[in-house]
Amino acid sequence: MIEISGLIKTLHGGGHKVEILKSIDLTIPDGQFIAITGHSGSGKTTLLSLIAGLDTPTDGTIKIDGQDITKLNEDELALLRGKRFGFIFQNFHLIPTLTALENVVLSAELNSTPGATKKSEDLLGMVGLSDRQHHYPAQLSGGEQQRLSLARAFVNEPNIILADEPTGNLDSKNSDRIIELIRELHRVKQATIVMVTHEPQVAKQSQRILTLEDGKIIADRKNTK
């Protein structure tokens, strides 16, 4: 479970104070697929970065299964990210000199995941890349690269998947395919998924939609789809 209480993020510069997040309170139960929406500058990506421990809040707490990650040092946060989180990025962040299979296997091996190669091959099959596993990222289409990043995110069987605009660089056909795969992986793997998106149609595929505006939660509703 993710429990966020009184979360504030403030930036100072040029004599001005900018409040990015304003006292956010939020609980995300285990296994929920939640979409965070809002206009550009609403604070949604900052919130995701704070949950990942990639940024430090000005005030407030973020608890992962009861552990306050705001009190961890960088080494402890790195260990937490490796063991508990999977990441899906808008720009893929694949290693260009490694094949599709090697990109997934490396993530597994860095986290000492047993059976790294077999798990990687199975996940590549699940996302439809069995016949592309020995290709390099530059030889893959944008949709294929994002499917590869899904396999990499799930290979360590993390409790939490954090997805930042996972369909942002894709056309509508590939976008639909990626969201379909995220839904399927969520069903099979039972991970908690926190996804930032500015696309209403993408957000509607989640179980719960949170809307931010000017650093505040203005809507929080279950999706009845």
pLDDT per position as a tens digit, 86-145:
999 888 899 999 999 999 999 999 888 889 999 999 999 999 999 999 999 999 999 999
Q: How far apart are CA 121 and CA 110, in angstroms?
A: 17
Longest Cα separation, the chain = 56
Q: Which pairs with CB-CB distance under 8 Å and at least 24 residues apart come from 77-83?
A: 77/53, 80/53, 81/52, 81/53, 82/110, 82/111, 82/156, 83/111, 83/156, 83/158
H/E stretch holding 87: strand 85-89
Q: Are 169 and 90 in contact (CB under 8 A)?
A: yes
CA distance 99 to 127: 16
Identity at 164, one-letter amino acid code: D
pTM for this model (two decimals): 0.91
* Percentage above 90 pLDDT, the chain: 80
Q: 218: helix, coil or strand?
A: strand
Say what the pLDDT of residue 145 is: 94
Give the three-class secondary structure for 17: strand
Q: Which domains does the chain have, with CATH numbers?
A: 30-59+71-222 (3.40.50.300)
> What is the token pair recorded at 19?
């409040």
* pLDDT at residue number 223: 82
